[in-house]
């Protein structure tokens, strides 16, 4: 039977130690207990109280009593851990501030294999939270916030006493601080080694200084300092200590595997971006929209596109004589780096490293991502920011932490600066999500306020630029020019015509040379088209399967085996996928589809896995209903919003959630299969 070692450091706690030990002994637990009591050189009657208690209860559970000279809480905890033998170790003060009835909540994530470190958070359950003083509360909050900023975590209560560890793991970590600083030291070392700290809500009944509380201001300052130095000034080999235990190897192997998948993704995208036909290197990665991002192109206008890709290209022209090639290589790098947020999301969903590996592989071999990685467009940069946005929002749901939601809003704002399509998400969808994710409600309100302040500070200057010049509050006035494309799809649907032919007719009518007149014409055209063809407007704005098709043609075009501009999209809308494939490969090159078939299998597995996840969420709707909302907000948003003119590259951000959910599904299928074999 598994065992929990309860480390109980004690220094001058004669008034409370017996009561605390009674509470520990009476606490309900699904595994056996081992009490390791460490007398840290008490000068009162604590030792007498402890020995009397042990004499009364020594037959009820395994008890170890250790005595040492006074050295501080850290030294007592270290001695207790070194002398423990439990599969799990938890720290318990002898002052009755914490309730041992919370042990079971703390050990369950470790017993379930979800993590190896659990912190009992006094901040998770605000209805059960009392404070000895605002001074202590703000001090603990400051330490937690600094950890979150420096280590990228989402801890709500780092200074908590109820730190719970896998026994072999904590016995392998050598911490040196003898006083309260042992807590930020061990937390920093665990995070530097890559371990995930899970928090569970616990109760708390604090005492005041005149009642024996021992922590002081200098301890808080030391905690902040240690948080900093263990992040930047301590080498990794001194942080990790002994690395010969399975737990450390497991996390090390996970990170090493992710780096390997990143390298594979980079090389694969680079190889499939090399032209094998007779074409210029700069031209084969250009598409009809590409020049609109290049500030040195004829007719370039800063307001036509969202600013970030254009600024990025402008910077590349200043530092490299081959700006287009540099942009392509950077796109390949960003597409490959997206492996990491996808993997972290898969790990978050499945609570397993294997889930992260599966999600990373699905992204690595995704055809659409491979095809668009090197193109002189904004989609890869946009997807990179959107991927971190999706991960942070889902993690905020898991942790209920405002800081995670704030990170999500930050990445969402960067995504909006890359493509204006994300603007409605951060201004409308995100505030609604905050109502479901962030607790308590006052924090939700704060999140919404911060969201709008951030959006105003970063986005309004660019929107005002377009308003002053063209009379539209928009990050990119290209959104209004897209009305011609949307109208061509609506009219083609109503008149049963090829949308490319309709588009050519409409573009001939657009006023050229005057942006304001062009925008006005597009607005009026869209309004008139909707009034004339309301049914076709609705039908063309319904979800379209075409957007989810793997983009094999783009990979083929990058390699020089085919060319774009064949009017295949119009054939697809009018006659369906089979006719479009025949049309596209009518001049040969269909063998490319067969060559890329293994990659298409990965794409199909990702869709099937996500479907299983959604079916499970619907069946368990009471527990998983928010996942349905998250999928709709974070995934469906990028599928439905484009409207009637859809291209596979538009759905790249939707794949982040899709592959994370698929990783969970595959591990569930594996688990079910293992049970049947047993």
**Is residue 207 domain-shared with residue 286, that is, in the same domain?**
no
The answer, yes or no, to whether residue 54 has pLDDT greater than 60, is yes
Which one of 210, 225, 244 terminates a domain? Answer: 244
Do strands 117-121 and 163-166 pair parallel, antiparallel, or not at all (unpaired)?
antiparallel
Task: Convert 576-595 to b/e letters by CB count within 10 Å (16 or more is b).
Answer: eeeebbebbbeeebeebbee
Q: Which helix (H) or strand (E) holds 105?
A: helix 103-111
Do strands 163-166 and 88-91 pair parallel, antiparallel, or not at all (unpaired)?
antiparallel
SS3 of residue 204 by DSSP: strand
DSSP label of 591: H
Give the pLDDT score at 244: 36
3-state helix vs strand vs coil in the chain, percent to 5: 65, 5, 30
Neighbours of 612 (CB within 10 A): 17
By C-alpha distance, which of 71, 82, 83, 93 is closest to 178? Answer: 71
Has residue 427 been placed in a domain? yes
198 prior amide bond cis, ω within 30: no
Q: Which helix (H) or strand (E) holds 277?
A: none
Q: Which helix (H) or strand (E) holds 75?
A: helix 73-82
**Is residue 200 domain-shared with residue 343, that is, in the same domain?**
no
**Is residue 95 domain-shared with residue 127, that is, in the same domain?**
yes
Q: How many Å separate Cα 242 from the centre of its chain?
A: 30
The answer, yes or no, to whether residue 217 has pLDDT greater than 70, is no
Neighbours of 93 (CB within 10 A): 19
Has residue 301 been placed in a domain? yes
**Is residue 228 domain-shared with residue 260, that is, in the same domain?**
no
438, two tokens: 């962030």
Burial class of residue 70 (count of CB atoms within 10 Å of its CB; 0-12, 13-18, 19+): middle
Q: Which residue has the tokens 């559970």?
A: 61
SS3 of residue 212 by DSSP: coil
Residue 574: band (very low, low, confident or very high) from pLDDT cuts 50, 70, 90:
low
440 prior amide bond cis, ω within 30: yes
**Is residue 195 domain-shared with residue 265, that is, in the same domain?**
no
**Is residue 49 domain-shared with residue 194, that is, in the same domain?**
yes
Backbone angles phi, psi at 642, to 5 degrees: -55, -25
The per-residue pLDDT for range 293-326, each reduced to its tens digit, is 988 888 788 888 899 999 999 999 999 888 888 9
Mean pLDDT, to the nearest integer, of 43-71? 88
**In total, how many domains does the chain have?**
2
Backbone angles phi, psi at 452, to 5 degrees: -70, -35
Where are the strands (E) in 447-537, listed by range? Answer: none
By C-alpha distance, which of 220, 254, 225, 10 is closest to 116? Answer: 254
Question: The domain spanning residue 59 has which CATH number?
Answer: 3.90.550.10
Has residue 319 been placed in a domain? yes
SS3 of residue 399 by DSSP: helix
By C-alpha distance, which of 204, 129, 124, 127 is closest to 161? Answer: 204
Mean pLDDT, to the nearest integer, of 62-86? 89
**Is residue 302 domain-shared with residue 239, that is, in the same domain?**
no
Full residue range of the structural domain in which residue 133 is found:
3-244
Give the pLDDT score at 243: 43
Burial class of residue 347 (count of CB atoms within 10 Å of its CB; 0-12, 13-18, 19+): buried
**Is residue 39 domain-shared with residue 152, that is, in the same domain?**
yes
SS3 of residue 33 by DSSP: strand
Which one of 222, 244, 266 terminates a domain? Answer: 244
**Is residue 43 domain-shared with residue 187, that is, in the same domain?**
yes
Has residue 443 been placed in a domain? yes
SS3 of residue 201 by DSSP: strand
Give the pLDDT score at 232: 57
By C-alpha distance, which of 486, 478, 413, 456 is closest to 641? Answer: 486
Count Cα atoms within 13 angstroms, Cβ side, for 46.
Answer: 23
Has residue 671 been placed in a domain? yes
Give the pLDDT score at 212: 46
**Is residue 227 domain-shared with residue 280, that is, in the same domain?**
no
Mean pLDDT, to the nearest integer, of 437-464? 80
Say which range, 268-277, 403-412, 513-522, 638-647, has the weakest mean pLDDT: 638-647
Which residues, listed in sequence order, are joined to residue 197 by a DSSP beta bridge? Answer: 117
Range among 70-79, 209-218, 552-561 rated most confident: 70-79
Where do the H-state alpha helices sit in 198-289?
Answer: 217-232, 236-240, 246-271
The per-residue pLDDT for range 513-530, each reduced to its tens digit, is 788 888 888 888 889 999
Residue 671: band (very low, low, confident or very high) from pLDDT cuts 50, 70, 90:
low
Report the C-alpha gap between 434 and 626 in whole angstroms: 12
Has residue 584 been placed in a domain? no
Percent of the chain scored above 70 by pLDDT? 84
**Using an 8 Å Cβ cutoff, are 454 and 409 in contact?**
yes
**Using an 8 Å Cβ cutoff, are 572 and 663 in contact?**
no
Report the C-alpha gap between 20 and 41 in whole angstroms: 18
Which one of 212, 244, 276 terminates a domain? Answer: 244
**Is residue 268 domain-shared with residue 417, that is, in the same domain?**
yes
**Using an 8 Å Cβ cutoff, are 665 and 655 in contact?**
no
Report the C-alpha gap between 326 and 323 in whole angstroms: 5
Report the C-alpha gap between 395 and 344 in whole angstroms: 10
Mean pLDDT, to the nearest integer, of 134-154? 69
**Mean pLDDT rounded to a whole number for the chain:** 81
**Is residue 200 domain-shared with residue 280, that is, in the same domain?**
no
Say which range, 29-33, 77-81, 327-331, 465-469, has the weakest mean pLDDT: 465-469
Say which range, 213-227, 332-346, 353-367, 439-453, has the weakest mean pLDDT: 213-227
**Using an 8 Å Cβ cutoff, are 121 and 163 in contact?**
no
384, two tokens: 């990179």
SS3 of residue 199 by DSSP: strand
Which residues, listed in sequence order, are joined to residue 98 by a DSSP beta bridge? Answer: 204
The answer, yes or no, to whether residue 644 has pLDDT greater than 80, is no
Residue 415: band (very low, low, confident or very high) from pLDDT cuts 50, 70, 90:
very high
The answer, yes or no, to whether residue 34 has pLDDT greater than 60, is yes
Report the C-alpha gap between 71 and 527 in whole angstroms: 78
By C-alpha distance, which of 143, 476, 451, 449 is closest to 302? Answer: 476
Report the C-alpha gap between 357 and 666 in whole angstroms: 11
Q: Which residue has the tokens 């540099």?
A: 326
Report the C-alpha gap between 94 and 6 in whole angstroms: 11
Has residue 486 been placed in a domain? no
Mean pLDDT, to the nearest integer, of 399-426? 85
Has residue 295 been placed in a domain? yes
**Strands lying side by side in the sheet with 32-40:** 62-68, 32-40, 3-10, 88-91, 163-166, 117-121, 197-201
C-alpha distances in Å from residue 160, one per residue of 90, 120, 192, 218, 515 = 11, 7, 19, 17, 60
């Amino acid at each position: 039977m598994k065992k929990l070692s309860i480390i109980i450091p004690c220094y001058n706690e004669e008034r409370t130690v017996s009561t605390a030990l009674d509470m520990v002994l009476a606490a309900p637990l699904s595994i056996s207990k081992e009490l390791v009591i460490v007398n840290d050189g008490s000068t009162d009657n604590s030792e007498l109280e402890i020995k009397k208690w042990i004499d009364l209860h020594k037959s009820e559970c395994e008890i170890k009593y250790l005595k040492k000279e006074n050295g501080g809480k850290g030294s007592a905890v270290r001695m207790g851990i070194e002398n423990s033998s439990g599969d799990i170790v938890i720290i318990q003060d002898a002052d009755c501030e914490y309730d041992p009835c919370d042990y079971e909540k703390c050990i369950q994530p470790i017993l379930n294999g979800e993590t190896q470190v659990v912190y009992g958070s006094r901040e998770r359950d605000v209805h059960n939270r009392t404070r000895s003083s605002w001074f202590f509360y703000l001090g603990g909050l400051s330490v937690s916030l600094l950890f979150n900023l420096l280590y990228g975590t989402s801890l709500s209560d780092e200074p908590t006493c109820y730190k719970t560890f896998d026994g072999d793991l904590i016995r392998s970590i050598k911490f040196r601080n003898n006083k309260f600083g042992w807590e930020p030291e061990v937390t920093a070392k665990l995070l530097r080694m890559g371990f995930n700290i899970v928090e569970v809500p616990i109760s708390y009944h604090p005492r005041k200084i005149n009642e024996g509380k021992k922590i002081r201001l200098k301890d808080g300052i030391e905690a902040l300092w240690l948080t900093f130095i263990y992040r930047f000034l301590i080498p990794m080999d001194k942080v990790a200590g002994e690395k010969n235990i399975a737990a450390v190897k497991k996390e090390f192997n996970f990170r090493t595997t992710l780096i390997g998948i990143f390298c594979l993704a980079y090389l694969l995208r680079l190889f499939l971006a090399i032209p094998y036909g007779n074409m210029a290197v700069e031209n084969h990665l250009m598409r009809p929209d590409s020049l609109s991002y290049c500030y040195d192109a004829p007719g370039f206008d800063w307001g036509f596109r969202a600013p970030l890709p254009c600024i990025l290209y402008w910077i590349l022209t200043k530092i490299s004589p081959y700006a287009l090639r540099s942009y392509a290589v950077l796109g390949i790098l960003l597409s490959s780096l997206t492996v990491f947020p996808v993997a972290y999301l898969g790990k978050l969903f499945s609570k397993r490293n294997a889930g992260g590996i599966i999600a990373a592989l699905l992204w690595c071999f995704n055809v659409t991502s491979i095809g668009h990685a090197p193109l002189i467009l904004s989609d890869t940069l946009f997807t990179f920011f959107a991927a971190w946005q999706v991960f942070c929002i889902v993690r905020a749901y898991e942790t209920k932490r405002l800081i995670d939601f704030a990170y999500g809003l930050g990445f969402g704002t960067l995504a909006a600066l890359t493509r204006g399509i994300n603007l409605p998400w951060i201004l409308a969808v995100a505030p609604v999500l905050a109502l479901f994710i962030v607790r308590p409600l006052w924090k939700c309100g704060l999140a919404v306020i911060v969201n709008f302040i951030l959006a105003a500070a970063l986005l309004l200057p660019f929107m005002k630029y377009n308003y002053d010049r063209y009379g539209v509050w928009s990050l990119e006035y290209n959104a209004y020019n897209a009305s011609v494309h949307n109208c061509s799809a609506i009219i083609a649907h109503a008149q049963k015509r090829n949308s490319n032919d309709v588009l050519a007719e409409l573009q001939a009518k657009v006023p050229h040379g005057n942006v304001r007149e062009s925008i006005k014409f597009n607005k009026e055209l869209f309004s008139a088209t909707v009034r004339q063809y309301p049914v076709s407007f609705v039908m063309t704005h319904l979800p379209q399967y075409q957007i989810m098709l793997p983009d094999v043609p783009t990979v083929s075009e990058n390699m020089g085996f085919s060319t774009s501009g064949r009017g295949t999209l119009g054939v697809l809308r009018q006659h369906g996928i089979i006719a479009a494939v025949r049309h596209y490969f009518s001049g040969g090159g269909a063998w490319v589809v067969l060559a890329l078939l293994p990659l298409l299998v990965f794409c199909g597995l990702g869709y099937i896995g996500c479907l299983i996840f959604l079916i499970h969420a619907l069946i368990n709707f009471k527990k998983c209903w928010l996942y349905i909302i998250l999928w709709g907000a974070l995934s469906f948003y990028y599928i439905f919003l484009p409207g009637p003119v859809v291209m596979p590259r538009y759905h790249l951000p939707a794949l982040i959630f899709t592959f994370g959910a698929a990783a969970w599904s595959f591990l569930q299928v594996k688990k079910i299969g293992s049970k049947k074999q047993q």
